[in-house]
Amino acid sequence: MSSKGSMRSSSDDMNIYRIAPYYYIHVMDLNTNVTRVVNGPKTFIRQDNEKVIFGPEKMVTVPPRHYCIVESPVIRDKDGNVAYDTYGQVKLQHADCEIRFSQEPFPLYPGEVYKQAPKALMVVAANAALRLKATLDFEDKVSKEKRVAGDEWLFEGPGTYMPRKEVEVTETVRATIIQPNQAIKLRARKQTRDRNGINRVTGEEWTVKEVGAYLPGAYEEVMGKLDAYVLTEKKAIHLRAMRTFNDCFSIERKNGEEWLITMTESEAYIPDVYEEVVGVVNITTLNNRQYAVILDPVDANGKPQLGQKKLIKGEKSFFLQPNERLENGIQNVYVLGEDEGLILKANEEFVDTESEAVPRKPGDRWMIRGPMEYVPPVQVEVISKRKAIPLDENEGIYVRDVKSGKVRGVCGITYMLTQDEELWSKELSPTVEELLISNKDPLADRGNYGSKGATAKRDKTKVVTFRVPHNAAVQIYDYKEKKARVVLGPDRVMLGPDEQFTQISLSGGKPKRPNQIKSLCLLLGPDFCTDVLTIETADHARLQLQLAYNWHFKVSDKSQDSLAKLFAVPDFIGDACKAIASRIRGAVASVQFDDFHKNSAKIICAAVFGYDSERKLHSNFIFPANNLTITSIDIQSAEPVDQRTRDALQKSVQLAIEITTNSQEAAARHEAQRLEQEAKGRLERQKISDEAEAERSRKDLLELQAQSAAVESSGQAKAEAQSRAEAARIEGEAAVEQAKLKAEALNIEATAELERLTCAREAEIKYVGEQNELEIAKSKELVAIETEKFASMVKSIGTDTLRAMATAGPENQVKLLQSLGIQSTLITDGSNPINLFNTASGLIGAIEPPQKREKRE
């Protein structure tokens, strides 16, 4: 207000104030410093000792259903009149506030502060409330209650809240809508009494489940909504008590107790504040081919039977009670066929009544066979399920008796293991295992010994089988009987539990290296092997030979003792190559290089096979230890080891090649000379025949020349005449063609000239026409401009001016005659008509209008 008063400071010099209705001013008496209010409508005359410090200002108007706040309001008496002090100054309630509702417009007295403009009263809707808090102690006249500062209460709708200065609105509280199958969780912020009249202590929690709108009390706090768990035939909820209380079914629940709520108790369940939902439990359903074993089952009183088991067979549906669990989940009933069985073990002592009453002790094992359905009781453990193993004649399995430990092989039948039997795995050496898995053909895959074959794992419980190829032998040793047997192919070998293959490890490569070829069977041949050895002659020439031996095993007797000799030498290839190499070295050591170079095959064969009593070469070489027979030797290459020997041998070879070449060149030269003489004779004969033929041709030529001369003399005149006639004809045709071309040229020139003239005339006509159109357009535009100019001039001059200009000449003439004092004068010759209108002009001389002078000029 002081700022508004400062805005009015410029009006201090005014003495008269016309105050409109509903306006007011503040006038201060300068003598007493007392400020009073002057209300309109009024004409206020300011005295010398008075000063208007505020206004004129419009009175405060509070519309209906509104209120405003005035700070430091005036004090009124019982009758509502303003109280004044002894000095005439209004009394104020300093630092206090007054809420004024709808009334007649009122002024603000000096010292009053307009704190809040008119504001609509708060309308509280239904299902809503205002949380009120007392800031001062007062007595509520409506409810007749005494309110202490800090008290809180609700103003519930529907209604209009009339504010008080002692009350503060903290918030608007809206009712919480509780739907079906819902509840709200409340907590007491202070000791209070709820809407049901139940006393609640601070921090206590409870739920409200009545459907509808719930408006929490002043000291009630809504913690949240709780949705009901909808229970079906397949779902239940698992609850745990957080303290000892009575639930909604009036059942006492101990702290920590757990239980289930199913559809039989309630279709929808809202947990209480002291109930904790552990989880939702789904129903367990068993069909007629299932069963389940429950661990720690709950009895009829709800008490868990710890350590016990309960068997439930289908068809059945049930809920697992708290702390109950299924052993191995839902299990299928064992349906056994004719070739199936079960190995069972008793964990407790009981009487087995499956087929007949048989007492079982803990640890007993027995077997039941199909066809049947079997559900094991809780005292029985199913060790394994057995199935009969069908075996062909060439198939088998190793079976071990768990009581005696004896292992045997079962082949060629369908066999099911008993309760005291198990499959036994036969272990073989890694090399034999690899040879069996590789599945290589010993005969066809001889060149692929170093490469690996298939890597599939072998079933160690099956009897080890091996196919012996044709013309091969396999030795098997029984370590239990300490006997060996040899099997000749083609055949199939099946190992017993205590039998092992005799592994063959042969030398390979060039030169031979030991343990290069590994095999389970021995090929009987015929076959060959290649070796590289170094020899030295008597003159110390070292040579490297590559030899190939053909060999085979001589098997005459197929008894086991005779066949056992085949495996007497483990590495027969290495031993044979060493023995043959030793013989060859000994024979070559006593022979010169030249002799060996010329007779190498004979020397080597003699060294290996030897001679008989008749000095004939033996046909083979036999190793008596294993009947290995070498039938032939092939010398594939012989190369000197020493470089000098190699160079000398190369020189001798080159010399032999040169001699052979020279002899061949001489023979070729002699043959060439012979052929040359023959060609010369044929040439001379051909020359003579050609000359005779030339003479005959010359005679024919002379005859033809004579004939041509006669023809030439007679045809020359004819040719000249024909040529002249042809020339004349050609000239005539050329003249005609030339005339035609000239006529065409003239026609083309005339046509072109005519087209040019036509185009020129058309262009000229077009030009003249466009020029005339331009002239016409120009004339039209000039006429339009002149017309517009004349119209503009006439419009600008005006009709009165034109009228004045038209009458100006005659009027001047009349005035001139009147000024001369002449009443009337007329001079005429009597023969010409008189123009009375021009008389005055003739008297004073022709005064031409300016426009006519300009036109004449």
Tens-place pLDDT, residues 154-171? 888 899 999 988 899 999
Residue 509 pLDDT grade (very low, low, confident, very high; cuts 50, 70, 90): confident
How far apart are alpha carbons 237 and 243 in whole angstroms? 18
How far apart are alpha carbons 722 and 293 in whole angstroms? 139
In sequence order, the β-bridge partners of residue 60 are: 106
User: Considering just the CA atoms, what is the radius of gyration of the chain in Å?
Assistant: 73
How far apart are alpha carbons 55 and 38 in whole angstroms? 10
Q: pLDDT value at position 1?
A: 38
> Tens digit of pLDDT for each residue in 40-51?
999 999 998 999
Residue 489, Cβ neighbours under 10 Å: how many? 20
The SS3 assignment for 434 reads helix
Give the pair of three-digit tokens for residue 177.
């809508």
* pLDDT surpasses 50 at 10: no
CA 602 to chain centre: 80
For β-strands 138-140 and 122-124, DSSP reports them as: unpaired
How far apart are alpha carbons 220 and 208 in whole angstroms? 12
* pLDDT surpasses 80 at 87: yes
Residues 8 and 35: beta-carbon distance below 8 Å: no
Give the pair of three-digit tokens for residue 145.
């209650």
How far apart are alpha carbons 176 and 215 in whole angstroms? 6
* pLDDT surpasses 80 at 112: yes
* pLDDT surpasses 70 at 454: no
> Tens digit of pLDDT for each residue in 185-207?
999 988 888 888 888 888 888 88
For β-strands 340-346 and 380-387, DSSP reports them as: antiparallel
For β-strands 275-282 and 499-501, DSSP reports them as: unpaired
- Sole residue written with tokens 């170094």: 534
- Sole residue written with tokens 């209120």: 67
The SS3 assignment for 184 reads strand
Closest alpha carbon to 1 in 110, 105, 150: 110
Q: pLDDT value at position 854?
A: 44
CA 632 to chain centre: 72
Q: Is 161 left (phi over 0), alpha (psi -120 to 50) or beta?
A: beta
How far apart are alpha carbons 212 and 155 in whole angstroms? 20
* pLDDT surpasses 80 at 256: yes
The SS3 assignment for 502 reads coil
The SS3 assignment for 666 reads helix
CA 509 to chain centre: 57
Residue 599 pLDDT grade (very low, low, confident, very high; cuts 50, 70, 90): confident
Q: What's the maximum distance between 2 C-alpha atoms anywhere in the chain? A: 208
Task: State the amino acid at position 602 in one-letter form.
Answer: K
560-588 residues labelled b (16+ CB within 10 A) or e (exposed): eeebebbbeeebbbbbbbeebbebbeebb
Proportion of the chain above pLDDT 90, given as a percent: 29
Cα-based angle 457, 461, 463 (whole degrees, multiple of 5): 95
How far apart are alpha carbons 451 and 446 in whole angstroms? 11
CA distance between the termini of the chain: 88
- Sole residue written with tokens 């005449």: 721
Q: pLDDT value at position 836?
A: 52
Cα-based angle 48, 53, 59 (whole degrees, multiple of 5): 125
How far apart are alpha carbons 139 and 146 in whole angstroms? 4
What string of DSSP letters covers 16-40? Answer: EEEEPTTEEEEEEETTTTEEEEEES
> Tens digit of pLDDT for each residue in 226-255?
888 888 999 999 999 988 888 888 888 888
Q: pLDDT value at position 23?
A: 95
- Sole residue written with tokens 């410090």: 53
Closest alpha carbon to 94 in 73, 68, 125, 123: 73
Residues 766 and 772: beta-carbon distance below 8 Å: no
Task: State the amino acid at position 592 in one-letter form.
Answer: Q
How far apart are alpha carbons 175 and 225 in whole angstroms? 13
Give the pair of three-digit tokens for residue 530.
């290649």
How far apart are alpha carbons 668 and 849 in whole angstroms? 150
Q: Out of 22-31, 59-68, 435-444, 471-480, which region has the weakest mean confidence (pLDDT)?
A: 435-444
> Tens digit of pLDDT for each residue in 820-842?
766 655 555 556 555 555 554 45
Proportion of the chain above pLDDT 70, given as a percent: 92
Give the pair of three-digit tokens for residue 213.
């709108």
Q: pLDDT value at position 824?
A: 59
Closest alpha carbon to 216 in 258, 188, 246, 242: 188
State the helix-helix crossing angle for 600-609 and 572-588, rounded to 10 degrees. 120
**Torsion sign over Cα 103, 105, 107, 112:** positive
Q: In which element (H, E) is residue 735 found?
A: helix 643-797
Residues 339 and 414: beta-carbon distance below 8 Å: yes
Q: pLDDT value at position 446?
A: 65
What is the CB-side half-sphere exposure of residue 10 using CA atoms within 13 A?
1
Give the pair of three-digit tokens for residue 634.
């092939």
CA 738 to chain centre: 89
How far apart are alpha carbons 103 and 80 in whole angstroms? 13
How far apart are alpha carbons 665 and 130 in whole angstroms? 138
Give the pair of three-digit tokens for residue 727.
């020339």
Q: Out of 66-70, 395-399, 450-454, which region has the weakest mean confidence (pLDDT)?
A: 450-454
How far apart are alpha carbons 476 and 498 in whole angstroms? 10
> Tens digit of pLDDT for each residue in 114-153?
999 999 999 999 989 999 999 988 888 877 888 889 888 8
How far apart are alpha carbons 206 and 215 in whole angstroms? 15
- Mapped to the 3 state alphabet, what secondary structure does 122-181 carry? EEECCCEEEEEEECCCEEECCCCEEECCCCEEEEECCEEECCCCCEEEEEEEECEEECCC
Average pLDDT, the chain: 85
How far apart are alpha carbons 510 and 549 in whole angstroms? 13
- Sole residue written with tokens 């029985």: 380
Residue 301 pLDDT grade (very low, low, confident, very high; cuts 50, 70, 90): confident
Residues 608 and 526: beta-carbon distance below 8 Å: no
Closest alpha carbon to 284 in 256, 254, 222, 326: 326
* pLDDT surpasses 90 at 66: yes
* pLDDT surpasses 70 at 617: yes
- Sole residue written with tokens 């590789």: 438
* pLDDT surpasses 90 at 70: yes
State the helix-helix crossing angle for 643-797 and 799-820, rounded to 10 degrees. 40
Q: pLDDT value at position 65?
A: 93
How far apart are alpha carbons 340 and 371 in whole angstroms? 8
Q: pLDDT value at position 828?
A: 57
More confidently predicted of 432 and 647: 432
408: Cβ contacts below 8 Å, ≥ 6 apart: 398, 399, 497
Residue 856 pLDDT grade (very low, low, confident, very high; cuts 50, 70, 90): very low
Q: Out of 606-615, 671-680, 804-813, which region has the weakest mean confidence (pLDDT)?
A: 804-813
How far apart are alpha carbons 228 and 261 in whole angstroms? 12
